[in-house]
Amino acid sequence: MERVIGGSDRSAVGGRVPACPGPQAPGQGAVARSVTVRLDRRSLRGWHIRLLDQLGQRPDRRVRIAWVTQGSGLPGNAEVLFRLEAAIHGLPRPGLATAAEPVALAPYEARPDETVQTGDDIILDVSGAPAAPAAAPVWRLDFDGVPGEAGLLAALFARRAPVAALRGPDGAPVAVGRLGAESHTVMLAAFEDYLARTITLIAAALDGAGSPTLPDGAEAPLQPGRTFDLDGFGAGRRAAGGLARQVARRLYALCFQGPQWRVGWRQVVGPDLIDLRRHPEGGWNDLPDDGRRFYADPFAIARDGAVTLFVEEFDYRRGKGVISAVGFEAGGPRGRPEPVLELETHLSYPFVFEADGQAWMIPESHASGTIDLYRATAFPRGWVHEAVLVDGVVASDATLLQHNGRWWLFATVRTGGGSYSDTLHLWHAPHFRGPWTPHRRNPVLIDVGSARAAGPVVARGGALIRPVQDCRGGYGAALGLARILRLDEEGYAQRVETRLGPGAAWPGSRLHMLSAAGGLEFIDGSRPARPRLLR
């Protein structure tokens, strides 16, 4: 029997809900009263959250979730494409195509021992996973005959309008629809249009209003040369494999015609950026890259008489970030950054610090739902997982500060959707290993202009200056310098004193981070558009 991992009982309050008239099965004029949605936690997106919320709007319907494995999602570099298009075209994020986290499904949690019972109206499988025995009728979603979302993206690359189909246990369509999009030149915008209408189709079908044929009488297409099988899994895998190559080609086209993230550095002679409150007269040097990757999120540390710079290294072909490091001297980097920490998930914001005679790192990996501590065994390499500092939280850019005998942890937290950059949470502990206690007034700040960290907190003239990201003009649009006015267990306050953006000394469209160590200062942001490098 299938294991249910989540559920939400939205039964009516203060009145009896009339039963559905007639004995019809859902999809034939009757409403599905109980829906179990199969999802793969590794390929969750915003549209899944929206779908669950919409299905649960009926007070007489019970909606639950069941986790499956081997789902047929998008290739890994698709998320990179979406993020890049959102940045270039100024599209709002997060959206229906944005990767989501399992913690966002908390409203649908059920008792641990709850299982799907015979008699449930419908099991709705939108995961693209192989078929599995079930105690109730299963409706499976495909696009142009491809399970999962790969068919949608394939249709975009082929410049055709995809047909979404819900198929019953025998493979016959329960509901079909030909999806439309306002734009086919921006993949993210079209993909989200498709997903929005997919939700409409599913909701209509579960309300008994689905049509098994298109208005012109055509049936939902299957993959060429295939007859329908209950699995369809191989087709999804093949489609995703071909898509990865198409996405990679489009990424190259975007990256070599548009702005690109970069790291800037300079040797500090005289006042630093915090004292200057403006760009230095001499400008910034670029940390070189080969055009096939970008560097971002610079964190410098002076240790054993040398400066080491840690960065997020994002290789476009691999579609995820790793943490890399390079030694620095007054004249610049000694070589190129080399990977020092790589996980299955995307890594960024390598907050590196020294304590108890050792080097430690808290990299961002919000997909894990944790804030994790790593220790270096062969600095700058040899990073091993030391502890989970905070669990069950989608946190960005965790930053430590030791102040008045306690350790403080800053991070922006995304709960129930919304931005990754507008909600500041604090934790405090007697030691950087913990145990960490949430601040009693969390969230202590909701402000997209100053909540998210942009580097280590700096002590200056008896004050604490906190670099912050000003995301009012989009992610990483500008750098703010905020003075911490209060930091204790009863409250928090800050005041942004300076806002620095790109300019003549830092050409481009974004200014994002600030870090310094050993007489060197580092920032990051974007460079102006560069000519196409690949044909």
Q: SS3 string of 493-504? A: EEEEEEEECCEC
Q: Which two tokens stand for residue 34?
A: 């109980």
Residue 64's H or E segment, with its range, is strand 62-67
Q: Identify whether 532 is part of a domain.
A: no
**pLDDT, mean of residues 275-291:** 93
Q: Identify whether 20 is part of a domain.
A: no
Confidence grade of residue 529 (pLDDT, cut at 50, 70, 90): low
Q: Identify whether 17 is part of a domain.
A: no
φ, ψ for residue 327 (rounded to 5)? -75, 145
Rg of the chain on CA atoms, in Å:
25
The domain that holds 233 is classified in CATH as 3.40.50
223/265 same-domain check:
no
**pLDDT, mean of residues 159-188:** 82
257 CB burial (10 A radius; 0-12, 13-18, 19+): middle
Q: Buried b vs exposed e over 369-403: b needs ≥16 C-beta within 10 Å?
A: bbbbbbbbeebbeebeeeeebbeebbbbbbbbbee
Q: Which two tokens stand for residue 124?
A: 């709705």
Q: How many CB atoms lie within 10 A of CB 212?
A: 18
84/104 same-domain check:
yes
Residue type, 437: T
Domain boundary among 226, 254, 282: 254
246/264 same-domain check:
no
- Is-contact 38 66, C-beta < 8 A? yes
pLDDT tens for 47-61 read 999 999 888 888 888
pLDDT tens for 1-10 read 233 333 333 3
pLDDT at 373 exceeding the cut of 80? yes
The least confident of 52-61, 81-90, 347-356, 501-510 is 81-90
pLDDT at 109: 60
pLDDT tens for 350-372 read 999 999 999 999 999 877 889 99
439/470 same-domain check:
yes
Looking from the CA of 115 toward its CB, the CA atoms found within 13 Å total: 8
247/280 same-domain check:
no
Q: Identify whether 535 is part of a domain.
A: no
pLDDT at 535: 31
Length of the chain: 535
Q: Is 382 left (phi over 0), alpha (psi -120 to 50) or beta?
A: left
Residue type, 220: A
pLDDT tens for 419-433 read 788 889 999 999 999
Whole-number Å distance between alpha carbons of 305 and 265: 19
- Is-contact 504 249, C-beta < 8 A? no
246/268 same-domain check:
no
pLDDT at 256: 60
Whole-number Å distance between alpha carbons of 509 and 88: 10
What is the average pLDDT score of the chain? 82
Residue type, 344: E
Q: Identify whether 533 is part of a domain.
A: no
279/225 same-domain check:
no
Q: Identify whether 356 is part of a domain.
A: yes
φ, ψ for residue 276 (rounded to 5)? -70, -40
Domain boundary among 254, 272, 301: 254
Q: Identify whether 19 is part of a domain.
A: no
Whole-number Å distance between alpha carbons of 369 and 347: 13
Q: Which two tokens stand for residue 140?
A: 């499976």
Whole-number Å distance between alpha carbons of 69 and 83: 25
What are 353-359's contacts with CB under 8 Å, separation 24+?
353/301, 353/400, 353/432, 353/456, 354/301, 354/303, 355/432, 359/301, 359/303
Whole-number Å distance between alpha carbons of 34 and 37: 10
Identify the residue with better confidence: 427 or 242: 427
Q: Give the relative orientation of helices 187-206 and 46-55 as an angle to the nearest 10 degrees.
A: 20
Tokens 């419908």 identify what position? Answer: 122
Q: What residues have CB less than 8 Å from 67, skipping those under 6 apart?
A: 3, 5, 38, 39, 40, 41
Whole-number Å distance between alpha carbons of 493 and 92: 28
The domain that holds 453 is classified in CATH as 2.115.10.20
Q: Buried b vs exposed e over 219-244: b needs ≥16 C-beta within 10 Å?
A: ebbbbeeeebeeebbebbbebbeebb
Domain boundary among 205, 224, 254: 254
> Helix, strand, coil % (nearest 5) of the chain?
15, 40, 45
435/359 same-domain check:
yes
pLDDT at 64: 87
Pick from 385, 365, 369, 280: which is nearest to 320 by CA?
365
Q: Identify whether 1 is part of a domain.
A: no
Q: Quote the percentage of the chain above a pLDDT of 90.
A: 41
pLDDT tens for 432-490 read 999 999 999 899 898 888 999 999 999 999 999 999 999 887 788 899 999 999 999 99
For 374-438, the DSSP string reads EEEEETTEEEEEEEEEEES--EEEEEEEEETTEEEEEEEE--SSS-SSSEEEEEEESSTT---EE
Asked if omega into 380 is within 30° of 0 (cis), the reply is: yes
pLDDT at 296: 95
Identify the residue with better confidence: 64 or 209: 64
367/432 same-domain check:
yes
- Report DSSP state, residue 60: T
In angstroms, what CA-CA distances link 491 with 192, 273, 425, 495? 40, 28, 11, 14
352/490 same-domain check:
yes
- Total structural domains within the chain: 2
324/387 same-domain check:
yes
pLDDT at 44: 87
Domain that holds residue 289: 260-527
**pLDDT, mean of residues 83-104:** 79
297/408 same-domain check:
yes
